[in-house]
Amino acid sequence: MKTPFDIILKPVLSEKAYSKFAEGTYTFWVAPDSNKTEIANAIESAFKVKVVRVNIQNTLGKNKRLGKFEGKRPDRKKAIVTVAPGQKIEALEGLI
């Protein structure tokens, strides 16, 4: 059985993600094998809010080089979560 924190890896900390906080939309990096239902349940149980919508983006890792050495950044999954009107995730609101 997965815990909510096995599914939610960390919040996305970017200027674009911060600008969506006022609309009740929060962005998280999530486990690559998770689906929308699992993500919604994990957010609701971890932060005690009602989730209205979950959108998912699969992000492919870039190929990077340093001299003659070549590597690849990991593939990741991003979830954009919209909570019910009037609700906030207080743990993330303090980061602004």
Let me know if residue 36 belongs to a domain: yes
Is pTM beyond 0.85? Reply is: yes
User: Which residue range is the domain that position 26 belongs to?
Assistant: 11-81
CA 62 – CA 41 distance, rounded (Å): 30
CATH number for 32: 3.30.70.330
The number of folded domains in the chain is: 1
Instruction: Indicate the pairing of strand 76-83 with strand 51-59.
Output: antiparallel
| Count of Cβ atoms closer than 10 Å to residue 30 Cβ | 25
Q: Is residue 89 part of a domain?
A: no
d(CA 82, CA 9): 17
pLDDT at 96: 66
Asked if the structure places residue 91 within a domain, the reply is: no
Residue 94 lies in a domain: no
User: What pLDDT score was predicted for residue 88?
Assistant: 93
Let me know if residue 20 belongs to a domain. yes
For 49, the token pair is 């809010």
The two counts, helices (H) then strands (E), for the chain are 4, 6
Per-residue pLDDT tens listing for the chain (96 residues):
789 999 999 999 999 999 999 999 999 999 999 999 999 999 999 999 999 999 999 999 999 999 999 999 999 999 999 999 999 998 888 776
| Predicted pLDDT at 67 | 95
Question: Which strands sit side by side in the sheet containing 25-30, from one edge to the other?
Answer: 8-11, 25-30, 76-83, 51-59
Within a domain: 58: yes
Structure tokens at 46: 């971890």
Q: Residue 87: inside a domain, yes or no?
A: no
User: Could you tell me if residue 2 is inside a domain?
Assistant: no
